[in-house]
Amino acid sequence: MNVDIVAVGTELLLGQIPDTNSQWLGQELAAHGLSSYFHQHVGDNGPRIVTAIRTALARADAVIICGGLGPTQDDITREAVAEVMNVPLVRDPQIVEFITTLFAERGRVMSPNNARQADVPQGASIIPQRRGTAPGLICPVGHKVIYCVPGVPYEMQEMFERAILPDLEARAAARGETAVIRSRVLRTWGAAESTLAEVLDAHVQELENSSNVTLAYLASGIEGIKVRLTARAADEAAALEVLAREEARVRDILTSRLGDIVFGVDDETMEHAVARQLIDRGLTLAVAESVTGGLIASRLVAVSGASQWFRGGIVSYASDVKFDLLNVDRGPVVSGRAAEQMAVGVRERLGADVGLGITGVAGPDSQDGEAPGTVFVGWAVGDVIEHVRLHLPGDRPRVRQYSAISALDALRRQLDQI
């Protein structure tokens, strides 16, 4: 089965909002072994929506249309689909009743416009609405099919999982395409994509001969490189078993060649990795930040339950705040010594077990004779007081972002040793 996506809405063409729906659907289709070769955006214009749908039907087995199912005169996906199906729209009295009741429960009177949401192309079936007012539609066209879902992401996603995915899987099964696809992401930090590719090259070539597992690299900007494993099997249990075996194998290769570069799985961020290590060891943390200016503290506080292990931080942006509050020696503040003293100072000031300090030059100007991108990360973990010097690429915002994740990664690696 291959599935085209058509996202409807003039606001998408004007760039007023990002098209997160096509991205989400693309991920879901791929994760379930369904191909998607073309996506389109089209505005709220009847003839152009018809053109986009016909273009999609010409290229794909199935089409998912997001948006244009609302109550206003702008919402004309229903009319366009009926035209493509060459059938009239018929008002469904049960849907009218449902929407009327929804409004009544909220103490409001339904405007006549809302009844338009009960219009259904003849021959289509309904995906009952659970989170909004507009139902979804499953519209057969010859041996192909059009699905219509609302543009509101959380309504769309629920309908996709509940009704569209099962329908697509049934259609795929009827064509003899019966596989379960599951994937897992290993998150790495500190190695370039080309390095990972080189290290895993022999293994990937081995996989290509098997064919039930694939491996792909996803660059995630400052968050590192993800290695995605995708397994295809007859059922879920078999797919998960293949994934577990493959994850162990890939971790093994990476660790033996590149050290401890895998910091998390799937949605785990670097701050989750740090949090887990602190919790495991019963330690608390305090951070002193200059160049990052609160970014590290902010990432740590993003972890739910951070109060268990995070004491707080000091953003010592002005040099004399470093001297007065953190007991850093007077003198140049962009140095390894300053980073270490910041770590020690903040640990003491905030009564934490572990201290992290970071100082550097975000740019655009140099400071203390150091060029933009020069950053020192210091840590105080037990008796270990150390620092590392980094050269980070990019403009001011990128240097700051890279500094934050570099510091968290350095701390993660240090904690791993105790």
* Residues found near its own copies in the complex (CB under 8 A): 11-20, 22-28, 30, 36-43, 45, 48, 51-52, 55, 59, 218-219, 287, 289, 292-298, 300-302, 304, 306-307, 310-318, 320-321, 324-325, 349-351, 362, 364, 396-397, 400
- Coil, helix or strand at residue 273: helix
Closest distance between its own copies and the C-beta of residue 89, in Å? 24
Closest distance between its own copies and the C-beta of residue 46, in Å? 12
Q: Which is nearer to its own copies, 263 or 310 (CB)?
A: 310
Instruction: Kindly give the pairing relationship between strand 310-315 and strand 285-289.
Output: parallel
Closest distance between its own copies and the C-beta of residue 12, in Å? 7
Q: Which is nearer to its own copies, 36 or 335 (CB)?
A: 36
Q: Which is nearer to its own copies, 240 or 303 (CB)?
A: 303
Buried residues in 254-274 as b, exposed as e (16+ CB within 10 A): beeebeebbbbeeeebbbbbb
Q: Which residues pair with 391 in a beta bridge?
A: 374
Closest distance between its own copies and the C-beta of residue 119, in Å? 23
Closest distance between its own copies and the C-beta of residue 190, in Å? 21
Long-range contacts of 298-301, Cβ-Cβ distance < 8 Å, separation of 24 or more: 299/269, 299/270, 299/271, 299/404, 299/408, 300/271, 300/274, 300/275
User: What sign has the CA pseudo-torsion 70, 71, 73, 78?
Assistant: positive
Q: Which is nearer to its own copies, 1 or 95 (CB)?
A: 1
- CA distances to 31, 137, 387 from 145, rounded to whole Å, are 21, 10, 60
Closest distance between its own copies and the C-beta of residue 38, in Å? 6
CA neighbours within 13 Å on the CB side: how many for 365? Answer: 2
Q: Which helix (H) or strand (E) holds 298?
A: helix 295-301
- Coil, helix or strand at residue 147: strand
Q: Which is nearer to its own copies, 9 or 121 (CB)?
A: 9
The terminus-to-terminus CA distance of the chain in angstroms comes to 51
112 upstream amide cis, omega within 30 of 0: no
**Cβ atoms within 10 Å, residue 251:** 15
Q: Which is nearer to its own copies, 20 or 125 (CB)?
A: 20
Q: Which is nearer to its own copies, 19 or 83 (CB)?
A: 19
Closest distance between its own copies and the C-beta of residue 205, in Å? 16
